[in-house]
Structure 1
Amino acid sequence: MTSHAAGAEPRTIVCAGPRSAEAELIRAIQRDREALRRAPSQSVKPLRVIVPSRSLRIHVTARIADRCGSVLGVRVQSLSALVEELLAGDEDARRDGEFLFPLLVRRVAEALEGQGMREDLSRFEDGYGALQPTIADLLDAGFHPEHFDACAERLANFGRADADAARALLQVALGVRAAFAKLGLAHRSGRIERALSLLEAEPETLPARGVILYGFADATGAQANLLLGLMRHAEARAIIDDPRPGAPEVASFAAPLRTRMAGIAGERKADPAPRNAVVSIEAEKPSGEVRATVDAVARELAAGVAPEEIAVVARDLDPYRVSLCRALERAGIPFSGAPGALARSGPWRRRIRALRDLLAEGSRARLFTWLAAREAPAELVRVLVPWSGNRLCDLPDEPPRAARAGAALWRDARTFSKKAARAVDRFSWGGWVELILSALGPEREGRQEPQPAVRSRLEELQRALPEGLELGAEDFALLFAGVSEDLGACPLGGAGGGVRLLSVTEARGLTFARLFVLGMNRELFPRQIREDAFLPDPLRRGLLPLLPDLPIKERGHDEERYLAAQLAQAGDRVTFSWSAFDEEGRANPRSPLLELLQPRALAAPSAAAVDAGSALPARQRDALIVAFEAAARELGVEVSGERAAAHIARSAERSFGRVPPPPIPEEPFYVTGLEGLLRCPWRFYVGRILEAQPQERSPGALPSFDPRVIGNCVHRALEAVGARAGLPAREAFGTLAETPAAEFAWPDAKALDAILLEAAET
């Protein structure tokens, strides 16, 4: 490794949070602009700002335009875009084959069946798909054939079963790399390695008057090597974020990359950003948490904060997506998700999901899946409901008399089943396209139909496939599932304007004037860290001397602390919120990360006041608050907006001797709720309206048994009794009528007790 020369200016700048890092970047852009005025000839080459994500690229571009005005030759690009640029003129560079990665992992793993793979995979619902993250980790860490023998030798120090399974994983990784090479393609790690070799051989491959690495805290092995290569061969500067200086439990996440960069280019600390306000609020339930956040956003907008400077962030946005979008729409607040973020809904999203299931199951798919993909008329679906659970291959060619009204759909389903059965081995590309479009049915005028989008996506897939790659039914279903993931989904909110709705990952490195972080509860943020079932951390640590960039899953805890600390410094005012109970009334412990951040708790408006005030329509509540403040000013009394809101909320709780009408619930009223109401109105009222919960079992009470557990125990005992008498444990159902009855001696009480005890313990 090239060490930092004594006396040279350090090129690794450590900043205390995203706002400090952004200020340092803006100062670097301004210094570059001043240097260009003195030497205009340098503008021929761009100043490159390399960032890790698309969302950060768009954000940095907007910040530079806002803070610096017109700048010449500044190019903000993601690391993946830089790799593509480096490889653009290389004739030996292989095409990106990332879309084939799931297919190649499955094929190679199947070929190695019996070498430790099948036993592990039998526990996983998605089969060989569960292997993909492990193989990706190995390839990203730079695992090559020359590493195999040494890695296998180190694995021999562990138990034989673990070592054999891990050795099989190494063989799969090598097989996938070889399969990519045979097809003339490369995994993403291979393309990054090729880009680095070109940069090392000829630094002028990357014309630049300067390179700034911005927003990187951690990177895979291949990515980290490219970043370090840019610092060695392109004199790149790195702006690193240490959001909580002096806290080793936070700094440990970025420490490996930071240490390597500092070893090449030295290190200095940047000026800290102005102190910000970090506060917290507690709501009763997640729905109340969303309402409180939307009300706070509305107040910030009324105070003149630009919508694009406000963000609502959650570790995982999915649990809040629907309620948050609904609340913002009702309040008339514009919003947008991250670039490319999807709302997971659309006019024919359900049809695409059903189509993927049809391709995966083929002729063994259920009739209801085929009807969902076709989106058959409701009156015909009702006719075919009695047979909807049947597999397509089991349906007769002609429908029963009771299903004659849906005869055309029935025959189409049978035709699809026969074509799918023929496609099990090999099928021409035209055959696959015809099979998919036949499942969707003809296009109907005056409606948004998925056929054009599906046809276009299949054409793109066909152009990307290498020559000579044959596809079976499972292969095609797997590829189509990958390329159709976003079909039928709508963008989340607008096209970039308005309040930002982001996951924590999407918000990484971004800055805001006002930031609201939802879901600071124990099971949500931090997320649950699960060890890799195939290559556990002890085995990974054993491989670190050979693959130092192999990720350790336990470091996920460090990442959660780092992300939380980074969010706390990402806004001029940051509000963390959590709910004391879930929507079912169960206790919802708050996140331990709040102990690290120690935000100032807001006393007013309280979560209870916000929830109570939500019984009033938003416009009426806002008008009352304005009137309250005006009346207070006339009386010469200073009243803050928060105090006025709390007073109005308390007033809304009073009934003045009458029962007020119930507020419209935030949640839709499902069919199961209607069934519960009809079955027992009193129980529905107590459980759903009053939200009364059954008393928790006292610690000393005896546990109850699930009836299914008792049934399983009885069946095992009966099988054991029969086995002792020499009777078969399994018998084909069709042969039972022809099997003669057999007599045997029933075991005595002591033997029966032993059998029952053994069955219960298993």
Structure 2
Amino acid sequence: MLKVRCGPYAALEQAFLRQLDSLQKDDPFTPIAVVAPSRRMAERLERLAAGRPRLAVRFHTFHSLALQLVREDGQESRKLVGDPLLFDRLVDSLLGSGPRPKGLASSYRSTLKDLIDAGVEPRAGELVDEGLLSGKEEAERLRGLLDLLARYEKSLEQLGVLTPAGLVRRAAELAPKSAALGRFKALLYYGFYDLVGLQAEFFEAVAGEFPVTLYFPYRKGHPAYAFADRFFETKLHQGGTVPEPVEAPAEPLGDALFVPGRSAKAPEGFLRFLTASGASDEAWRVAKEILRLVEEEGVLPSEIGVVARALDPYRSALADAFRASAVPFHMSAEEPLLKRPAARACWTLLALARREFPALSVLDLTASPFFKLPPGASAGRWSALVRRLRIHRGWLQWEGRLPGEDAALWTLLKELKAELEPKGRRSWGEWAEYAAALLDRRFDAGGDEAFKAVLDELCSLEVLDLLGGKPEFPEFLEALDDRLHSAGLPVTDEPNQGVSVLDAMEARGSSFRVLFLVGLKQGLFPRVIREDPLLRDRARKALRDAGGYWIGQKKDGYDEEKLLFHLLVSSARERLYCCWPRSDEEGRSQVPSIYLFDLFRAAGLDPKRLALREDVPRQPERRLCSNALAPYLTPREASLAAALAGADPWSLHKALGWEAGALKALREGALELDRYGAPGPKDGVVGPLAEHLAWLKGHGLSPSTLENLAACPFRYLASKVLKLAEPEEPCEASKVDPARAGTLYHEALEAFYRHPKAKGDVRAAVDASFGKLDWRAMGLYPLLWEFEKERMARALEAFLRWDLAEQAQSGFVPELFEQGLDGKLEVALPKALEGMRFHGRADRLDSDGKSFRVVDYKRTAKSKKLAKRVSEGEALQPPVYLELAAQRKEFAGQAQGGAVFYPVESFLEEPEPDPYTAQDHAALRKAVLERIGALLKAVAEGRFVIKPQEGEQGYCDWCPFPAVCRKNHAMTLVRARRAP
């Protein structure tokens, strides 16, 4: 009772409509069922049949038809569930309790689905025992997989769960005696070119008892249809059925595609080729071409298709380009739910505790417009406070540093901690209700689409109650994490309106007046096919050939890729645009799809001489200044094009109601930044700053400020002149804050040397200094703080023992600690700074009665020696402190004995004092003072040009102002190198 009609989709459509008309010619209410492989194809057939009285025609997919049969029977007590998360967790429970990768259960579930869809039963293990596979290891792997399949299906049965595959299997059993199927005069199956095993059984069960016509997209002997060969030969000739070819119009290009040695001339103007740099430029050019087609050639948006093999790499680029250019479109793909701010804020809140309250997440949450702040609270003030306290993550950091600083924030965090760490076990449904109530309480986003979607995803987790058991809240959040990261929202609201943006699978069977194929590059179309490591192709082939199960091999996917490409090429009626990225967004070269070259061959084209190829320029000025595209530019693009072309864009700005004055200033500023020549005001050459110089003369300069000025004058401008705040880097809970560690060393050393009695028991003195410190105040975990405290104490003890021995040998003894220094230097100061003083604070000043030395404590050692850094102008503290200390009365008549840096932690292994000797100072003193004079002259003249120092030891690595200095801007660097 099966009739098979085969041919290309375009011919099948007409044959399908003719048969539909014929079946209802005498009675327009003749009941007919139409079954398609996808909902989209069923809707397309329904639209094709529109305009005729089709009240008695029912359009189904395999799933919906199976569901109707099972519901009609009324005997199925199991609950239909298609949620992959439930199946993943069930498989995970069957894999045992040992450690395994997070995605392993999902991989097993996918393989089990292939076996179940193919109708493979656990008893297929008997075939393995009979030598189905020759390789012992592969046979054992398959046997283990079939054992897992048996336990999986048994568990589903015990849980009372009916899977979609189980639904189809049950429908196949019911089909021969179905009253619902018997009411149809005919069943028209349309558009599938392959079926999995259970679908094939369902189809055969229906075709064996009822009048069925199959419209099968297939051209016998054509290489592009090789993927459908096996199904055609094996399944469609049973019972004496002879497939009937449908008369189809000539299709020269399709006839030649993938046929070696054959070519055909494509219709005039049919083929166009576009290349661009990256998906964004590709999408931009497609959008402009669509506007041109609509405006100049009268093509309706609904007659245009844009298709990629997979939409994910192009989803955002196409949506952004079409919206910017006002191209009406509908897209089947969804955008990630967590891309929406409200959804992201919800997950940020729920995940705070499991992520140990990261400071950035807390600040993002409190800055969200959806989050309910306590009365009088300020997210901006909280952000500044958290950065000042250098909180990174971990409840202990919050607990140790925040109390006493801001009561409202601390109260909020304590409340959130209690809400996000509930005790006990509850059902999945109860946890979903708890989380939903928490979100409702903390957010004001009831009308937001994404917020509603999050609540829906929470409710969907109730299905996991079928598995039994009551999870704790962290386990619930783990499942919610998987759910939210896989959830999506529609990109467009109106289906089937405007340009169709589809992936290749959804576009099967469609027809377009104009089609754009985007993303034609290797790795995307054709996609990369990989074997299933759990069920390799050799095992699949054995199950299919020897076992009789209708299961496909993964490598057959390459044949399907060819078929999809051929179907897409054939779906364009008047014009086909083939688009590919010649490079990605970063400029890396991309390889065009191999299918393009077969298309070139089939069309008789030389790929090196494509007259109809357009290379979309990467540079905005070349891309936007095309006369052909000028009418289709957005106002912003038109403004930019006018500015780049040297035209006057201000009249356009005025007509659009833009703030022309501000735009003009911005344009002039941009031109200034890109000019050649000497540095100017935007490079830091600002001229004398009288107010700042007066302030500087009154306050003086410290050596650290001089060092920053020498390293990069622009940092001095940002910090001291513009008064930009230097952001504090947060400190991780896994290590001691370096600044805090340095302070601890200084305090301990000062306390030690101020109490001479302590020298009798060095370790006791060190323990006394550290004993009062609490892990909460340090923001570390208790055990970690104990470890760090012991390490730092051992470093101090090692240093002090060495230092005491060195003092005994050299005769130098500490005289002054944390001593403020102030005075003048023998520097030729500019007139505006005459009389300016210098100041600083020395860690320690030693004396032997004849000379004095400057001692500075450091945490770790530098790779470059101190004397070398002084000679290169990197370290100015030692010479300046020596000059200032010489002016103190305590050292009157004493010689300058040099300076030394003590990196305390290096003494744990090998002492590394870093000296700047009296001889070094005598040799370098004049040059140092001249360098300081030159720096101050530049300050007086207002010259603060950047001096980038990239690399591992470069100054730029720890500069707090990388976002404002433009060190990566080419022309800024060119001008900076020309600075005196």
Q: Same fold (TM over 0.5)?
A: yes
Correspondence for 1:530: 530
Structure 1 SS opposite 2:96 = coil
Moved more, 346-355 or 46-55: 346-355
- d(CA) in 1 for partners of 2:324 and 2:490? 19
State the shift of 1:331 in Å: 2.4
State the shift of 1:92 in Å: 2.8
- d(CA) in 2 for partners of 1:319 and 1:163? 39
Change (3 A) 1:499 1:152: farther
- d(CA) in 2 for partners of 1:331 and 1:314? 20
Correspondence for 1:254: 228
Moved more, 469-478 or 593-602: 469-478
- d(CA) in 2 for partners of 1:428 and 1:658? 65
- d(CA) in 2 for partners of 1:468 and 1:578? 50
**2:290 maps to which of 278, 286, 297:** 297
Change (3 A) 1:70 1:92: closer
- d(CA) in 2 for partners of 1:329 and 1:429? 40
Correspondence for 2:29: 43
- d(CA) in 1 for partners of 2:349 and 2:539? 40
Change (3 A) 1:457 1:520: closer
Residue type of the partner of 2:107? Answer: A
CA contact (8 A) 2:343 2:454 kept: no
**1:283 maps to which of 265, 271, 275:** 275
State the shift of 1:525 in Å: 0.7
State the shift of 1:274 in Å: 5.2
CA contact (8 A) 2:642 2:648 kept: no
1:132-147 mapped onto 2 (5 Å cutoff): 132-147=109-124
Residue type of the partner of 2:205? Answer: G
Are positions 1:80 and 2:63 aligned together? yes
CA contact (8 A) 2:94 2:151 kept: no
Deviations 1:478-526 (A, max 9, x none): 6545765676734336433111111112212211111110011112111
Aligned pair count?
619
Correspondence for 1:559: 560
CA contact (8 A) 2:36 2:42 kept: yes
State the shift of 1:362 in Å: 4.1
Correspondence for 1:23: 14
State the shift of 1:30 in Å: 2.1
CA contact (8 A) 1:368 1:388 kept: no
CA contact (8 A) 1:216 1:240 kept: yes
Change (3 A) 1:618 1:531: farther
Correspondence for 2:831: none
CA contact (8 A) 1:221 1:550 kept: yes
Deviations 1:357-415 (A, max 9, x none): 56xx8476756557667745742455446777535698649944456452233113321
**2:136 maps to which of 133, 152, 159:** 159
**1:53 maps to which of 30, 38, 52:** 38
Deviations 1:629-676 (A, max 9, x none): xxxxxxxxxxxxxxxxxxxx9xx9999999999xxxxxxxxxxxxxxx
Residue type of the partner of 1:327? Answer: A
**1:592 maps to which of 591, 594, 601:** 594
Structure 1 SS opposite 2:73 = coil
Change (3 A) 1:384 1:228: farther
Residue type of the partner of 1:583? Answer: E
Change (3 A) 1:128 1:327: same
Correspondence for 2:438: 438
Correspondence for 1:390: 393
Correspondence for 1:722: none
- d(CA) in 1 for partners of 2:68 and 2:396? 51
Runs (5+) with no aligned partner, structure 1: 5-9, 625-648, 662-676, 683-731, 742-762
- d(CA) in 2 for partners of 1:387 and 1:132? 45
Correspondence for 1:751: none
Higher relative contact order (CA 8 A, sep 6+): 1
1:324-335 mapped onto 2 (5 Å cutoff): 324-335=318-329
CA contact (8 A) 2:583 2:589 kept: yes
CA contact (8 A) 2:128 2:139 kept: no
CA contact (8 A) 2:428 2:461 kept: no
- d(CA) in 1 for partners of 2:210 and 2:596? 41
Change (3 A) 1:259 1:396: farther
Are positions 1:171 and 2:147 aligned together? yes
1:736-755 mapped onto 2 (5 Å cutoff): none
CA contact (8 A) 1:281 1:606 kept: yes
1:223-622 mapped onto 2 (5 Å cutoff): 223-242=199-218, 246-248=221-223, 250-264=224-238, 265-273=241-249, 275=251, 277=267, 279-286=271-278, 287-302=280-295, 303-338=297-332, 341-342=334-335, 345-351=339-345, 353-354=347-348, 362=354, 366=358, 368=360, 375=368, 376=371, 378-379=379-380, 380=382, 383-384=385-386, 390-391=393-394, 396=399, 399-402=402-405, 404=407, 406-419=409-422, 422-423=423-424, 426-427=426-427, 429-438=429-438, 441-444=441-444, 448=448, 452-459=452-459, 462=462, 466=466, 470-471=470-471, 473=473, 476-477=476-477, 480=480, 484=484, 489-492=489-492, 494-544=494-544, 545-546=546-547, 548-572=549-573, 573-598=575-600, 600=603, 603-604=611-612, 606-608=614-616, 614-616=623-625, 621-622=630-631
Are positions 1:187 and 2:163 aligned together? yes
Deviations 1:733-759 (A, max 9, x none): 877969999xxxxxxxxxxxxxxxxxx
CA contact (8 A) 1:224 1:257 kept: no
Correspondence for 2:751: none
Residue type of the partner of 1:181? Answer: E
CA contact (8 A) 2:283 2:317 kept: yes
CA contact (8 A) 2:330 2:499 kept: yes
- d(CA) in 1 for partners of 2:413 and 2:645? 62
Structure 2 SS opposite 1:28 = helix
Residue type of the partner of 2:571? Answer: A
Change (3 A) 1:108 1:448: closer
State the shift of 1:301 in Å: 1.3
State the shift of 1:341 in Å: 4.0
CA RMSD of aligned residues (A): 4.2
Residue type of the partner of 2:285? Answer: A
Are positions 1:149 and 2:140 aligned together? no
Correspondence for 1:33: 24
Change (3 A) 1:397 1:252: farther
1:644-659 mapped onto 2 (5 Å cutoff): none
Residue type of the partner of 2:229? Answer: A
- d(CA) in 1 for partners of 2:319 and 2:83? 35
CA contact (8 A) 1:49 1:76 kept: yes
CA contact (8 A) 1:337 1:494 kept: no
Deviations 1:122-158 (A, max 9, x none): 4xx5342232211211111112233233346546632
1:6-21 mapped onto 2 (5 Å cutoff): 11-16=3-8, 18-21=9-12
- d(CA) in 2 for partners of 1:476 and 1:226? 38
